[in-house]
Homo-oligomer: A and B are copies of this chain.
Amino acid sequence: MRLGRVSGTVHATVKDAQLTGRALLLVDVTDGAGKVLEPARIAVDTCGAGVGDVVMITEGSAARMPTGMAGAPVDAAIIAVIDGVSVEQ
């Protein structure tokens, strides 16, 4: 999994039917200190996350494991809202 910060939302009228009613959030993947490692990943929200939240995303076929996601055409999902990261030097 990877850490990220929700930086925005994506709007689409023409889309796969299995995405209807799902929030598609723009996530900047970061390290533990908030430095951006990869910008602009889009993840389907499964946790009630919102813009500004630090989240954990899962990628690949794992994104179809949360409840309600089986068979959906998604390759990234938000599966946790992060309270904190403890980093030891």
Contacts and interface: CB of A to CB of B under 8 A. Distances in A.
Quickly give the copy total for this chain: 5
Given A14-B80, A32-B7, A74-B1, A62 B62 contact: no
Contacts of A61: 60-62
B42 A1 contact: yes
Contact of A11 (B41, B79, B85): B85
Given A40-B2, A64-B62, A15 B56 contact: yes
Given A62-B73, A65-B72, A88-B52, A42 B12 contact: no
A15 B73 contact: no
B47 A62 contact: no
B12 A81 contact: yes
Contacts of A51: 88
